[in-house]
């Protein structure tokens, strides 16, 4: 690893229609876990990169704009075999979130099978984040990361159109530097939200990394040395929650690369997330990133970190 290597995010670039109940509707908004995690990493690391595949319908202007912001898209493959993934994202006032694939778009598994190998990224990587994607995509990307001397993190996608069976034996999690699921995903896969219990299950299957469970407006919980440490959400005026969890993951990995401390890395992550929820779309978030404000929010978060017994 060298200082000029980016945080590489591996996953989807999607075209989203986003509906926030009683607030806003945004059509054809560039999104996806790879995009938002690259934004979160960029705040702290200075440069990030995306490994993904898109169809002929994905706007070149969006890729060009990412490049101007310092996000390398040289490992984004444009294919003619299918369209990009199109998603409906619906947010209710109750906090419920719904995600649906559009029938005219490509599928997660199809696009995951077409993207370039992680190992083919020309600049290498300081760290690799495996963003939410198909389980087949996770298994492929995880295998490509074997032997890389950099931290690798992983986040889940639990939807009706995703085959979750490969996660049940825990093999995909072994060797990771960090596993970063949401609380809802933990409940969906394991039937409970007990962080310590999940840590023990993972350790019994070869996982020796950091378990961090994202809990929305309640921040995150981290399993550390037999304890659970909570980091609150950073102060933010929430406008659109799209991409918040992904931005956390990018910020967390950038913080882990910089400090090696999972608790401090989680603080980096919640600050990255705060910039995303205050805007509508990844590009507004990129325009809003501010080093000075990030440091002020980080200082605020540090005061509220606590250890649970």
**% of the chain residues with pLDDT over 70:** 98
pLDDT tens digits for range 264-308: 999 999 999 999 999 989 999 999 999 999 999 999 999 888 876
- What is residue 240's predicted lDDT score, i.e. its pLDDT? 85
Contact predicate 163/135, CB 8 Å? yes
d(CA 218, CA 102): 31
- What is residue 3's predicted lDDT score, i.e. its pLDDT? 56
d(CA 153, CA 178): 5
pLDDT tens digits for range 49-87: 999 999 999 999 999 999 999 999 999 999 999 999 999
- What is residue 1's predicted lDDT score, i.e. its pLDDT? 40
Q: In sequence order, which ranges of the chain are alpha helices (DSSP H)?
A: 33-45, 60-68, 108-114, 135-145, 183-190, 195-203, 244-259, 262-277, 282-288, 291-302
Beta-bridge partners for 54: 78
Question: What is the sign, positive or negative, of the torsion defined by CA atoms of 73, 76, 77, 82?
Answer: negative
pLDDT tens digits for range 216-246: 999 999 998 888 999 999 999 988 889 999 9
- What is residue 225's predicted lDDT score, i.e. its pLDDT? 81
d(CA 249, CA 11): 13
- What is residue 308's predicted lDDT score, i.e. its pLDDT? 61
pLDDT tens digits for range 267-276: 999 999 999 9
pLDDT tens digits for range 79-113: 999 999 999 999 898 888 888 899 999 999 999 99
- Answer whether 0.85 is exceeded by the pTM: yes
Beta-bridge partners for 128: 8, 152
d(CA 123, CA 49): 9
Contact predicate 156/132, CB 8 Å? yes
Beta strands in 66-151 (DSSP E): 71-78, 85-91, 97-101, 127-130
The yes-or-no verdict on residue 205 having pLDDT over 50 is yes
């Amino acid at each position: 690893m060298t200082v000029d290597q980016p945080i590489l995010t591996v996953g989807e670039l999607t075209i989203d229609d986003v509906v926030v109940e009683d607030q806003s509707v945004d059509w054809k908004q560039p999104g996806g876990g790879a995009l938002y995690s690259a934004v979160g990493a960029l705040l702290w690391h200075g440069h990030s990169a995306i490994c993904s595949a898109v169809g002929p319908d994905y706007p070149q202007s969006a890729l060009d704009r990412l490049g101007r912001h310092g996000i390398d898209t040289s490992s984004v493959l444009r294919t003619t075999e299918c369209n990009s993934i199109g998603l409906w994202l619906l947010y209710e006032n109750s906090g419920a979130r719904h995600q649906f694939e559009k029938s005219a778009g490509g599928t997660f598994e199809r696009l995951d099978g077409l993207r370039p190998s992680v190992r083919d990224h020309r600049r290498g990587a300081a760290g690799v984040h495996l963003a939410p994607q198909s389980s087949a995509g996770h298994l492929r990307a995880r295998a490509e990361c074997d032997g890389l001397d950099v931290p690798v993190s992983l986040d889940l996608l639990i939807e009706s159109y995703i085959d979750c069976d490969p996660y049940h034996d825990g093999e995909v999690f072994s060797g990771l530097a960090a596993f970063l699921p949401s609380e809802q995903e933990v409940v969906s896969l394991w039937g409970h939200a007990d962080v310590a219990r999940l840590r023990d299950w993972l350790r019994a299957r070869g996982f020796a990394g950091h378990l961090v469970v994202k809990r929305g407006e309640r921040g995150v919980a981290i399993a550390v040395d037999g304890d659970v440490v909570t980091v609150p959400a950073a102060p933010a005026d929430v406008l659109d929650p799209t991409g918040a969890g992904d931005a956390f993951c990018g910020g967390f990995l950038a913080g882990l690369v910089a400090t090696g401390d999972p608790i401090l890395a989680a603080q980096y992550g919640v600050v990255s997330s705060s910039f995303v929820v205050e805007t509508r779309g990844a590009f507004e978030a990129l325009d809003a990133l501010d080093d000075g404000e990030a440091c002020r929010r980080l200082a605020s978060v540090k005061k509220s970190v606590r250890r649970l017994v």
